[in-house]
Structure 1
């Protein structure tokens, strides 16, 4: 019996050893098979675009790599600097995760990782892992480099994204009337309480504790709407104000409401076209039709046939579907030192909020250069007034704080707060400058689709020509970042003849590989800013791509001469890899 037990125990141990050896052999066999893998990366080298490096990996494995009880996994990571490693993602060759292509299990997947300049010199690796599911035993394959370095040429766009404080006009406008604008949907006179609504702000004005209120309402419509729509909007505003005032009037203030005549549609179209970003020829063509002695229907039909009509539909007509309310107040002014001290006390909850008006709080914030103090005062203004300038300027402060923040998570948190406040400013005052600020905050944060949406919305609201040109210019920069080069070129038609416009047209054509066109625009940029380092550097890239050695030497030398930071950039740039040993490249670094 004892002998039997010994033999049984030996058999069990032997069986386990066989299982382990079989498992090890299977894992080893899978890693050997994986050496036949086919892996491609697009683009290669990787390309930095905006705040991300985005690319596609396609991996095909031998069919035998798929086994019951086992799985094969490819880990992707990017290695840069002094052994810094960033995990990028993984490809799992399990059923449901791959498709067969020519009989081989194949996965095509998009990946991305955050961009920073320190990652310019790095390598994307893939490392295989054969795994037994039951025991989690693992056999690793040797890491394989599949892409080296980053091409940063798409980052050479010029952006502005300057969010401005709402101009401080306290001294000038303390006694001026408050003006609120309400936008309506097409062929609709219903006041909206969602995006773009000023209703909550209007309610606060109605409830303000003042002796008298003189109120004026007006309205408008676009040419493509049914007749009488503006009048319906005027009546809707009048009805809302009077009914709400009756419900909220606790102190028997005197209210007088005046209705202005409905605004002339074609006169407003004329103003909007003159203030648009349309090319001069299209402006003239449209104005000729608008000011002709034809019927409304004939004018609208004629505009349909113009090159400007799409712009009118997108960016002019929506801004004509509005109603306006003007409320006249009279208030006394306090001295600056008194305003500052009272604002600090309100911010610290040492004084009641109603000791200062909205305009007084806004002005007090301009009296300190410290962002932390501005933030406190604007926060108090938001809390006590709930009005759009406070939200907008608090958002501006958060953006400025984010620009100075070097910690990524803290920076993102500050930008999230900026976006929150700028969104509320947009709800209360839907105008082109406010939505440009919101779009810029999203752009700075790297939220590209949201930024594009709000650039577009800002343009639709309309504004003065300079404002619209700024918006179109930064919208184009974003379109370059997301690879929509044709859209960027279209947007830049309305961005004016500025340095930013010429530089971004040059980059758009460069990335479309139209090097002759790109060269023309970069030379125009140099006419506006002679000896500009970035324009010369971009021309050096064109020279490298077109194998023009004399041009490469000239422009790379001028770029480095204008800004020595381009020395290191040129040394690391993948665009010049083919020229490292060439005399034309070496000559560029000589004085």
Structure 2
């Protein structure tokens, strides 16, 4: 009893506190007012609850009804299955909306997606919107037209996303109302047969040196260096070679005096300076012969091919590879008279002036041996020979052959920086060779080098230029055929037929025959393709791949028996077994018991 009194007293004290008391009174008043409001507006509130419930129910029923009608959408896709051509997937869709779906003032959008959402677990999922088809209901209701549209679509092919489906999601928008369907399946996967084209590279070749350019050199050169803008020989240098000079004068060795200049100043003045340097050395030899009463030897005199020599010196100067590439590009694209001014804009200019320019201020004697043979020389001797021949004749053949040697060395080089420098040198000499005298063999070498150095645009430009010049070369025709085949965007693309013309001019190498047959297959000329594939089987060329292609032809023709016969020759190999099992080229036979028996 006492405990109850204490409890009541405690609560009384609590409610007598001002804050608690007023809160208590307020809540009691609100509760009473709410009861009065409900009593007076009971009918209105009942109607409001009913309206909200009806709207929710209508929305659910409307969405289900829209989805039900949407199932009647008629969608035709071509080709089916999809095919990749030229690194892209192109297809056409004809989309027919059901007329009962159309509502006045409504807009419809059918979004097309490529996705692997339905694929097996463990694969990385993806979904990509490809495009959409839109309809305005009023355009069809007022004119009583059929809501049919046809549209082309395309997306880039990605190898890691090739196993997917084409699906569609349709949306209706009318005012603030919006209904969406789930994703509806349209098409399964991508056929990748066009990815089977083979590389058609052949080795570039050496060109025969013309007889009038056969000017071979021994392995030593005597250099005499000068100060800038000076043509005065230094006596100590001359004294070191006095006995040697007398020996070659007595033996009547043929000599070449070559001179050069650094890039400061005008080219016209520098040419005069270089000639004066050569004349100074020639004059010294003439005085030496006269003083010893000896006949004057045969001497040829010329100014160096400065761009070539300058590039060689840059190569030897241990500049950063990026700087070297920049300098090579400047050399190729700048006139000699403007080269120094162009280089002065770069931070490496002072280093070039210090390391390279002094080595260009020379006159030098080179010994010539008419009896030496380039074919019997070592690789180093061949490089030396072509370098010297370029300095004498500026020969396109020597440029080409020097580029060829550096090309081969680059392919063998394991150090990436050294390899890149060799490729750049090979490309430089090959481009110069074409500028001097355009040849089919040199253009072919140029295209290969641009391709290997990942300059695809320049490779294509060189290839097209050679073709336009009508330079006949099987390698060029093969590359052009492959280029066209890889750019075709569908089996209807005319590029495939053009590629066949070039493959036909490119000889009978097995890789080229295979590409020609594959192009015929892709444009649905199956008899011509099969004829070439049979030739390749007789040639013992990659029988597994060829039989696989024959099976594809038979599958496309609907000939299950012959298709299975061709596949039976390769199905025991695990790699091909998996490929056949997943290839949509054989989708029409997937449920066939005979086809399934291949995998048992």
What TM-score do the two structures reach when normalised by structure 1?
Answer: 0.52
Do the aligned partners of 2:85 and 2:487 also contact (CA within 8 Å) in 1? no
Please tell me whether residue 370 in structure 1 is matched to residue 415 in structure 2. yes
| Distance (whole Å) between structure 2 residues aligned to residue 66 and residue 452 of structure 1 | 51
Please tell me whether residue 111 in structure 1 is matched to residue 153 in structure 2. yes
RMSD of aligned alpha carbons: 5.7
| Distance (whole Å) between structure 1 residues aligned to residue 303 and residue 599 of structure 2 | 65
Using the TM superposition, give the Cα deviation of residue 587 of structure 1 relative to its aligned residue in structure 2, in angstroms. Answer: 6.5
Moved more, 84-93 or 23-32: 23-32
Using the TM superposition, give the Cα deviation of residue 588 of structure 1 relative to its aligned residue in structure 2, in angstroms. Answer: 5.4
| Distance (whole Å) between structure 1 residues aligned to residue 178 and residue 417 of structure 2 | 53
Question: What is the aligned counterpart of 1:513 among 514, 519, 524?
Answer: 524
| Distance (whole Å) between structure 1 residues aligned to residue 195 and residue 577 of structure 2 | 17
Question: What is the aligned counterpart of 1:491 among 498, 502, 527?
Answer: 502
| Distance (whole Å) between structure 2 residues aligned to residue 392 and residue 128 of structure 1 | 57
Using the TM superposition, give the Cα deviation of residue 453 of structure 1 relative to its aligned residue in structure 2, in angstroms. Answer: 7.8
Match for residue 61 of structure 1? 97
Question: What is the aligned counterpart of 2:467 among 425, 438, 459?
Answer: 459
Question: What is the aligned counterpart of 2:270 among 232, 238, 251?
Answer: 251
Q: Structure 2 vs 1, CA of residues 55 and 210 (structure 1 numbering), >3 Å: closer, same or farther?
A: farther
Q: Structure 2 vs 1, CA of residues 378 and 460 (structure 1 numbering), >3 Å: closer, same or farther?
A: same
Map 1:114-133 onto structure 2 (within 5 A).
114-132=156-174
Do the aligned partners of 1:43 and 1:56 also contact (CA within 8 Å) in 2? yes
| Distance (whole Å) between structure 2 residues aligned to residue 143 and residue 113 of structure 1 | 19
Question: What is the aligned counterpart of 1:144 among 172, 177, 184?
Answer: 184
Map 1:422-571 onto structure 2 (within 5 A).
432-433=443-444, 436=447, 455-463=463-471, 465-478=473-486, 482=490, 483-484=493-494, 485-546=496-557, 551-560=562-571, 564-571=574-581
Q: Structure 2 vs 1, CA of residues 486 and 73 (structure 1 numbering), >3 Å: closer, same or farther?
A: same
Q: Structure 2 vs 1, CA of residues 42 and 544 (structure 1 numbering), >3 Å: closer, same or farther?
A: closer
Do the aligned partners of 2:93 and 2:151 also contact (CA within 8 Å) in 1? yes
Q: Structure 2 vs 1, CA of residues 33 and 481 (structure 1 numbering), >3 Å: closer, same or farther?
A: closer
Using the TM superposition, give the Cα deviation of residue 374 of structure 1 relative to its aligned residue in structure 2, in angstroms. Answer: 4.8
Using the TM superposition, give the Cα deviation of residue 55 of structure 1 relative to its aligned residue in structure 2, in angstroms. Answer: 0.9
Using the TM superposition, give the Cα deviation of residue 59 of structure 1 relative to its aligned residue in structure 2, in angstroms. Answer: 1.0
SS in 2 for 1:126: strand
Match for residue 573 of structure 1? 583
| Distance (whole Å) between structure 1 residues aligned to residue 486 and residue 467 of structure 2 | 15
Using the TM superposition, give the Cα deviation of residue 145 of structure 1 relative to its aligned residue in structure 2, in angstroms. Answer: 0.9
Match for residue 48 of structure 1? 84
Gaps of 5+ in 1: 177-208, 212-245, 257-325, 394-424
| Distance (whole Å) between structure 2 residues aligned to residue 110 and residue 132 of structure 1 | 27
| Distance (whole Å) between structure 2 residues aligned to residue 480 and residue 495 of structure 1 | 19
Match for residue 196 of structure 2? 156
| Distance (whole Å) between structure 1 residues aligned to residue 587 and residue 552 of structure 2 | 11
Paired residues in the alignment total: 405
Do the aligned partners of 2:451 and 2:459 also contact (CA within 8 Å) in 1? yes
Please tell me whether residue 74 in structure 1 is matched to residue 110 in structure 2. yes
Match for residue 421 of structure 1? none
Do the aligned partners of 1:37 and 1:60 also contact (CA within 8 Å) in 2? yes
Using the TM superposition, give the Cα deviation of residue 546 of structure 1 relative to its aligned residue in structure 2, in angstroms. Answer: 4.3
SS in 1 for 2:197: coil
Per-residue CA distance 1:339-389 (angstroms, 9 max, x = gap)? 5562448849778246459999997994953335655x589x79xxxx972
Per-residue CA distance 1:187-210 (angstroms, 9 max, x = gap)? xxxxxxxxxxxxxxxxxxxxxx99
Do the aligned partners of 1:63 and 1:104 also contact (CA within 8 Å) in 2? yes
Using the TM superposition, give the Cα deviation of residue 578 of structure 1 relative to its aligned residue in structure 2, in angstroms. Answer: 3.7
Do the aligned partners of 1:120 and 1:572 also contact (CA within 8 Å) in 2? no
Using the TM superposition, give the Cα deviation of residue 569 of structure 1 relative to its aligned residue in structure 2, in angstroms. Answer: 0.9
Match for residue 10 of structure 2? none
Using the TM superposition, give the Cα deviation of residue 537 of structure 1 relative to its aligned residue in structure 2, in angstroms. Answer: 0.8
Map 1:83-94 onto structure 2 (within 5 A).
84-94=125-135
Q: Structure 2 vs 1, CA of residues 353 and 477 (structure 1 numbering), >3 Å: closer, same or farther?
A: farther
Per-residue CA distance 1:276-313 (angstroms, 9 max, x = gap)? xxxxxxxxxxxxxxxxxxxxxxxxxxxxxxxxxxxxxx
| Distance (whole Å) between structure 2 residues aligned to residue 69 and residue 438 of structure 1 | 62
Q: Structure 2 vs 1, CA of residues 478 and 551 (structure 1 numbering), >3 Å: closer, same or farther?
A: same
| Distance (whole Å) between structure 1 residues aligned to residue 323 and residue 230 of structure 2 | 24
